[in-house]
Structure 1
Amino acid sequence: MQKFIKLLLAVCLMLSFTMSASAQAAPTKKALVVASFGTTFPDTLKNDIEGIENALKKAFPDRDFYRVFTSNIVKKRIAERDGIVIDDLKTALDKLAAQGYTDVLVQTTLLTPAEEYNNKILPAIKEYQTNKTFQKLVIGKPLLTEDKDFNLVAKALTTQMPKNLNSDQSVVFMGHGSPHMHNVAYDKLQAAFDKLNIPAVIGVVEEDDHPNFEDMQATIAKRKIKEVILMPLMVVAGDHANNDMAGDEDDSWKNLLSADGYKVSVVLGGLGRNSEIQKIYVAHAKQALKN
């Protein structure tokens, strides 16, 4: 009987040692995936997208970093022009699974939880969560998602606005808008600006969404604005900012407002380079891990 007990103890010790050695040999592999729409403008890639990516990498140094773009057109153009292949989210998650990652944090750099988020990012996340491909897979929300985000973003935007504007001066932020349905995030952010007495008016590129250019025009006329500072309300200052907002064509916002008699200046630069905006994305990622 004593021999049996000794043998059993020896087996248990061997199993314990084997399990301990196995755990040491295979530590948890953690990944940070930053999912952006993407851009073909090298300057905005470096300053805007990489600005957010670098803030997240600094906040999560224990995670290996991976970049993802959701726009097929952007990915194709970069591949053709630069020979650089950037994965979509599903491809990246497949690679991470094959490499043995078990803990994956995905943070999107999208502005709002709209079409791109709902149609490309969430379905992929839900698929891998349902299949239990990873022990842990979470996603941080876009910049303007919860009610508390709007005041935080409004205050963050003041750090890039000119100081001490007069009553006849206003920043006009150009957002994208949605071609399919009204994105209420712009209304909520405008309400936050107004509540905090921030001299800023929002308009969107998409004519079928609101507040469109005509809506914005009516607002600044009502406020008796004489001088406008145009700034993009977009994570990256890409095609819309450089052309629709600040371009030399007659129908750019800069030239349309100038033709209406406004004094117009332009500040090009996406939200991604704003350190206070970066902090909000980091907070969203941390919240995702807590949930």
Structure 2
Amino acid sequence: MKKGILVVTFGTTSLKARQATTNKIIKKAKEQFPDFLVQGAFTSRKVMDKISNQEHTNIEYLDDAIQKLKQKECRELYVEPLYLTESNDLAKLQTVIHGYDADFQKIVFGDPLLTTVNDFKDFAIFLNSVGDLKLDEGNLFIGHGTAKSNRFILHTTLDYMMLDTNSFVGTVESYPDLGSIMQRMRIKNIQRVHLYPLMLVAGIHASKDIVSGEKGTWNKMLMDGGFETTGQLIGLGEYEFVQNKFISNLKRVVEVSR
């Protein structure tokens, strides 16, 4: 009986970003599970259509990817969502894929990146290890943010876990906000701030807030606040730690389901 693995993410039109993140995770999944059919999938039709018009790719739109695995007679489907944590988007993804329950004997989901308390603790330790900070330097990891409780808790929890360090987590649309972070940085006498995206892929939004000097961006507001800044356009999915965590999540559900 054939078994399939679906590695799912929203998608990005940046070839460089895909090569550094999604493609590497798919490659690791193929190496870890040589007897499985491994397929990458994007949930954004808009992104997928744009890619298809520009280049050849082995990643499919979600429904097309599932159909491809069906045609190859997969009877068990294991899904690893490349998401930061539980969210409405993940719930929608699960609903869509479970719409194919009749086509498979089994559909099993792996966890997103952060699910348990230990996941958060390990991830906070990882974030604080990024770079080689001097005493007057700090790391600021920037997420989109939302007022909805599940994502709100993600950022505040990570930020709280690093209170005794020179690493901070903030969100553009929610909390922790930049004003409160800058106050804490001044208390710690931080002079230089390294900005990183707290996003799986360093796309357009990350580029705007991290390296742009436009009015209203976090980079510009930090500079206006008297801080020196450097922008690091490195998506979370580019780090071995994150890639291996997704593979570990997938491995766990495959082993449990045997």
Do Structure 1 and Structure 2 share a fold, with TM-score over 0.5?
yes
Q: Which has the larger radius of gyration?
A: 1
| 2:251 maps to 1:286 | yes
- Answer yes or no: is 1:67 the counterpart of 2:40: yes
Aligned equivalent of 1:9: none
Find the aligned partners of 2:162 and 2:134 in 1 and give their Cα distance: 14
Query: Shift of the alpha carbon at 1:250?
Result: 2.5
Superposition RMSD in Å: 2.2
Q: Distance in 2 between matches of 1:179 and 1:92?
A: 33
Name the SS for the 1:184 alignment partner.
Answer: helix
Given that 2:13 and 2:47 are in contact with CA atoms closer than 8 Å, whether structure 1 keeps it comes out as yes
Q: Per the alignment, in what secondary structure is the counterpart of residue 102 of structure 1?
A: strand
Question: Following TM superposition, by how much is the alpha carbon of 1:218 offset from its aligned partner in structure 2, in angstroms?
Answer: 3.5
Shift in Å, 1:274: 0.7
Quick one: which amino acid aligns to residue 185 of structure 2? I
- Matched with 1:183 is 152
| 2:19 aligned with 1:46 | yes
The CA distance in 1 between the partners of 2:46 and 2:6, in whole Å, is: 20
* Aligned counterpart in structure 2 of residue 95 of structure 1, from 60, 65, 68: 68
Give, in angstroms, the shift of residue 192 of structure 1. 2.6
| Aligned residue number for residue 113 of structure 2 | 143
Pair 1:288–1:264, CA change in 2 (3 A) = same
Deviations 1:17-68 (A, max 9, x none): xxxxxxxxxxx21212110111112211111222322222222222122111
Residue by residue over 1:74-113, the C-alpha shift from the partner in whole angstroms, topping out at 9 and shown as x without a partner, is 2232233336585333332233223211122111111122
Report the equivalent of 2:199: 234
Name 1:110's counterpart in structure 2: 83
Question: What is the TM-score of this pair, normalised by structure 2?
Answer: 0.89
Residues 114 and 183 in structure 1, CA contact (< 8 A), matched pair in contact too:
no
- Residue 252 of structure 1 is matched in structure 2 by 217
SS at match of 2:35: coil
The gaps in structure 2 that reach 5 residues or longer are none
Q: How many residues align?
A: 255
Q: Does 1:127 align with 2:99?
A: yes
Return the alpha-carbon distance in structure 2 between the equivalents of residues 114 and 215 of structure 1.
25
Query: Any conservation in 2 of the 1:156–1:277 contact (CA below 8 Å)?
Result: no
Contact 1:248 1:255 in 2 (8 A): yes
Distance 1:238-1:149 versus aligned 2 partners, 3 A rule: same
Alpha-carbon offset, residue 227 of structure 1? 1.4
SS at match of 1:39: coil
Q: 1:41 to 1:228 in 2, by over 3 A?
A: same
- 1:163 — aligned with what? 132
5+ residue gaps in structure 1? 1-27
Matches of 2:59 and 2:46, distance apart in 1: 11
Indicate which of 180, 185, 202 corresponds to 1:220. Answer: 185
Identical columns (%): 28
284 and 198 in structure 1: CA distance in 2 versus 1, 3 angstrom threshold? farther
SS of structure 1 residue aligned to 2:207: helix
SS at match of 1:34: strand
Cα distance in 2 for partners of 1:59, 1:154 equals 26
| Residue identity in the other structure for 1:156 | F
TM-score, with normalisation over the residues of structure 1?
A: 0.80
The one-letter code sitting in structure 1 at the alignment partner of 2:157 is: K
